Structure 1
């Protein structure tokens, strides 16, 4: 297998293929990533979502961006309904208020809930998106998964196994890969392993982008506060966007039921070390004691330098 590694949307990517990727395929992937970032990054002043943050504006989308918008916001509507509004695409203002802003100040202010009426404020037509009031769109619950799918689909013409790995969100086509479920409090160990065969596996954890005193990027849109019950989630689905969406939804009441309706298999680990799984999850889980999480430091502050190295990504979970 041959691996092409690159940095995009603030994280490390790897595309693994049976034969080395040609220059044409690399150029096409780079173009897909650039276009997605130019539309959806809240960390760029020149992106479409940044142009809408003051409210009262509408932006025209090209065909590909419009398709992304309809797919991602459709998933958000289902997530919002299932979690009683906990998952909300206008959570960007809350993230920025807590310091996870374009400059990565990491200086928290007061929590800011996302607008509960986001479906009224955020409009989407066939080729245009708009906001009727000041707000910040953040598609982190589904965006990186969507980009994984776009890259994987763009390489559908290649023979053999193709693996697209966006640092926690991956999709495998034309074969299988054995993937460890990384322990959220100890990256040198795993709580289980699963084979991903012609499917996608997405993971989310509260220790990946964390800073300050218990602050991290998974916020409850109703309160603007970080979630406290679940430490990490994993979701296995046919496509990465729905796996990514389910991984976010699993942090909240109603998320597991939505994953089950979507046919997504899942695992989640609580902050006190308990592990739950869907009935049909095909992987192997290792024994995790209730005390193992506290032994590795629940609530321990993550170094700010690590968060800055990861860079500000608009599509991460």
Structure 2
């Protein structure tokens, strides 16, 4: 069994394959990650989204339509709580390119974001200054791309809790958001993805974390963690984000994506027929 651990895009990755990936595989994976980061990272001064933040137009990345079309569904389901122009709101709260972690106060993202941001005919365009942030689903998308770059061998790709499994079955622990040494259950995944999101990750200051309501610029308070299974990591990641808000349950049902979530008061909810093995009275 070959295990490759490395750091990229601000998180720890682990790739497990039948044998250690050779130099060619490692080069392909590194190239995929670097290309995605150069396009979509708001933390890089040379990235496409940083360049575009003042407004204007650029050639759209190949991922733009798939990701931003999914954002339309996310935004509609959550009544605007999920919004790809939330980057400015996150930066203002301290989650900025310099990682200042200094809170400048709440500021909502542009409400009619799809009037400001367009991605038709191979062009990505902002009609006004704004900062794109694809954190609601971008890491999941990148996990899918990395899995594809590995070829056809069985593999597990884990990017900080966004996991894609191919050609094998994996039992994955659901980490308790208030005690990382324990789990609230396990989920068995075969040829699919399981993505998690939690407010104890990327957290700073007095109750600040990376899951903001784009309508207000305020961090979510009612949900502590979510887990979603889906055929792709992008869809699992997107649904895991949606479940922090009203409308997320209906969207996960529409996507046929089973889920578990823990509320901030410690109660656990799950979708009907969810196959996760939860360590709770049922």
Relative to the length of structure 1, the TM-score reads: 0.87
Match of 1:81? 76
Secondary structure of the equivalent of 2:136? coil
Secondary structure of the equivalent of 1:51? helix
Q: How many residues align structurally? A: 281
User: Counterparts of 1:21 and 1:165 in 2: how far apart (Å)?
Assistant: 15
Q: CA deviation at 1:44?
A: 0.5
* 1:113 is the counterpart of 2:113: no
User: Counterparts of 1:205 and 1:273 in 2: how far apart (Å)?
Assistant: 13
Q: CA deviation at 1:153?
A: 1.4
Unaligned runs of 5+ residues in structure 1 are 289-317
Match of 1:94? 89
Match of 1:58? 57
Match of 2:198? 205
Secondary structure of the equivalent of 1:81? helix
Q: CA deviation at 1:213?
A: 0.8
User: Counterparts of 1:25 and 1:70 in 2: how far apart (Å)?
Assistant: 27
Match of 2:238? 245
Q: CA deviation at 1:20?
A: 1.6
User: Counterparts of 2:148 and 2:278 in 1: how far apart (Å)?
Assistant: 31
Tell me the alpha carbon deviations over residues 83-123 of structure 1, each in whole angstroms, 9 at most, x when there is no partner.
00000000000000000001111110121101111001001
Secondary structure of the equivalent of 1:223? coil
Match of 2:21? 21
| Equivalence map 1:1-317=2 (5 Å) | 1-55=1-55, 57-61=56-60, 65-66=61-62, 68-158=63-153, 161-287=154-280
Q: CA deviation at 1:196?
A: 1.0
Match of 1:308? none
Relative to the length of structure 2, the TM-score reads: 0.98
User: Counterparts of 1:241 and 1:113 in 2: how far apart (Å)?
Assistant: 25
Moved over 3 A (4+): none
Tell me the alpha carbon deviations over residues 25-66 of structure 1, each in whole angstroms, 9 at most, x when there is no partner.
1111110000000000000110000011112x10113xxx22
Q: CA deviation at 1:208?
A: 0.5
User: Counterparts of 1:125 and 1:5 in 2: how far apart (Å)?
Assistant: 37
Secondary structure of the equivalent of 2:180? strand
Q: CA deviation at 1:125?
A: 2.1
Secondary structure of the equivalent of 1:247? helix
User: Counterparts of 1:252 and 1:156 in 2: how far apart (Å)?
Assistant: 36
User: Counterparts of 2:273 and 2:47 in 1: how far apart (Å)?
Assistant: 40
User: Counterparts of 2:23 and 2:171 in 1: how far apart (Å)?
Assistant: 29
Q: CA deviation at 1:22?
A: 1.4
